């Protein structure tokens, strides 16, 4: 009851960033928070990733974050989470993303176990479509895993989190990437060996691990000892369960080939008989021009290009009954609300003066060992001897009939 009253007294706060009205927090990390928001012009729901500029600079992650944003601006595919726009204020960066409501594919597997082959194939087809598109734009994800695969309201797969992605400009003179990254259970053997690797081949390996999990309900490579885990990955020590179809086994074996030179490629996957069954090519409009002006403006120091952050306080209006109910002794909630929990209370009235009533209570409490403090019509009693639930405290307050409001 106390909490409900405090909430009623607190003013409603609306926070806006540009044309977006911010709502509840739906995710939180070390230096970033993701909040649900609404475009006040179109009423479209979005997710806004909010980054603290100072924290990003201290962690020396400015270039990585900028790269993530630029990467996502290059990708506009029905199976990739879309980045709508980027905004910046003096203290924060706001990345406006497509709002996905279906949760993570990981949760589906964790809750329901392995998928039927037809369903697993559909998700794998969408994953390969998205990865192929990214590779065609010179973008390698490098951290493909179930947790980074989301589902929209229609059950379609959406690839997210390009925080570890790499552009072709980062490829060294030998034509390979050299940054060791990714999640251990999904990472390709050549990434572990740290001798340089082809980003496309490494992504394909991760896709193979994902397909295995979708069909099996568990990881192909797992060990509590990280050295033992890396050994299993490097030697491709895995076994397909008996319920895998022949076509699925053959494809997974070709994908989880520890030699990137002989590992199956995406063009070859697209021609695989098991993969092609029921295949539906993605439909999207790729005719657009990509501008990074908003990215530079968001990370810049020019206040003219900063977005406005506004906080609007709206006082809560209260009717007469709500005002009266703020007095615990005159709580009228039980007349209007059905409560799941019922608290038994004993109330009494007396024609005696408040001072006399308080004196009678004190007189009865002293023999029980209570310390008594009195002031005007208020009295506080405390038992110095603690029980299982601590010290017993009792507070009383006398209210004369003249102080009770009446309704004419």
CA 354 remoteness from chain centre: 56
Report the C-alpha gap between 300 and 302 in whole angstroms.
6
If we measure between CA atoms, which residue out of 104, 85, 103 comes closest to residue 94?
Answer: 85
Contact 187, 233 (CB under 8 A): yes
Report the C-alpha gap between 70 and 162 in whole angstroms.
10
Q: What proportions of the chain, in percent to the nearest 5, are helix, strand and coil? A: 40, 20, 40
**Residue 189 CB: number of other CB atoms within 10 A?**
22
Report the C-alpha gap between 184 and 372 in whole angstroms.
65
What DSSP designation does 391 have? Answer: -
What residues have CB less than 8 Å from 15, skipping those under 6 apart? 21, 22, 309, 310, 311, 312
Give the ranges where 17-114 is alpha helix by DSSP (H). 53-58, 62-74, 105-112
CA 175 remoteness from chain centre: 36
**Which candidate in 143, 198, 203, 257 is catalytic?**
143
Residue 33 token pair = 């928070």
Binding site annotation covers 280? Answer: no
Give the ranges where 303-353 is alpha helix by DSSP (H). 320-325, 333-336
The dihedral over CA atoms of 210, 214, 218, 224, expressed in degrees to the nearest 10, equals 10
198 is catalytic: no
Contact 196, 174 (CB under 8 A): yes
- Residue 257's SS3 state is coil
CA distances from residue 194 to 139, 222, 231, 295 in whole angstroms, order as listed: 20, 20, 14, 32
Residue numbers annotated as active site: 143
Question: Which residues are known binding-site members for ATP?
Answer: 49
């Amino acid at each position: 009851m106390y909490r409900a009253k405090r909430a009623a007294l607190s003013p409603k706060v609306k926070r806006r960033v540009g044309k977006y009205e911010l709502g509840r927090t739906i995710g939180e990390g070390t230096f970033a928070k993701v909040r649900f928001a609404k475009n006040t012009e179109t009423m479209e729901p979005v997710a806004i990733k909010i980054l603290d500029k100072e924290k990003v600079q201290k962690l020396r992650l400015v270039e990585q974050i900028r790269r993530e944003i630029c990467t996502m601006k290059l990708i506009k595919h029905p199976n990739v989470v879309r980045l709508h726009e980027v905004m910046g204020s003096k203290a924060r960066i706001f990345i406006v993303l497509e709002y996905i409501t279906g949760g993570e594919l990981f949760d589906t597997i964790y809750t329901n176990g392995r998928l039927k082959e037809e369903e697993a194939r559909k998700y794998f087809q969408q994953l390969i479509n998205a990865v192929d598109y990214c590779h065609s734009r010179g973008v390698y994800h490098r951290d493909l895993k179930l947790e980074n695969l989301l589902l929209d309201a229609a059950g379609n797969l959406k690839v997210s989190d390009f925080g570890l992605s790499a552009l072709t400009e980062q490829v060294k003179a030998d034509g390979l990437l050299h940054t060791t990254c990714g999640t251990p259970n999904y990472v390709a053997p050549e990434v572990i060996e740290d001798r340089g690797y082809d980003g496309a081949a490494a992504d394909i390996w991760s896709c193979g691990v994902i397909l295995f999990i979708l069909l099996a309900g568990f990881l192909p490579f797992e060990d509590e000892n990280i050295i033992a885990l890396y050994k299993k990955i490097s030697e491709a020590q895995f076994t397909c369960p008996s319920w895998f179809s022949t076509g699925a086994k053959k494809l997974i074996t070709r994908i989880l080939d520890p030699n990137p030179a002989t590992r199956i490629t995406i063009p070859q996957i697209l021609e695989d008989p098991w993969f092609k069954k029921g295949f539906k090519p993605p439909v999207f409009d790729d005719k657009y021009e990509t501008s990074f002006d908003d990215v530079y403006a968001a990370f810049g120091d020019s206040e003219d290009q900063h977005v406005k952050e506004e906080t609007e306080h709206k006082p809560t209006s209260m009717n007469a009954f709500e005002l009266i109910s703020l007095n615990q002794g005159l709580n009228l909630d039980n007349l209007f609300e059905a409560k799941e929990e019922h608290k038994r209370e004993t109330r009494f009235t007396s024609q005696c003066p408040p001072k006399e009533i308080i004196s009678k209570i004190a007189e009865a409490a002293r023999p029980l060992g209570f310390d008594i403090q009195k002031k005007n019509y208020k009295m506080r009693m405390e038992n110095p001897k603690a029980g299982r639930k601590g010290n017993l405290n009792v507070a009383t307050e006398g209210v004369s009939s003249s102080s009770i409001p009446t309704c004419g």
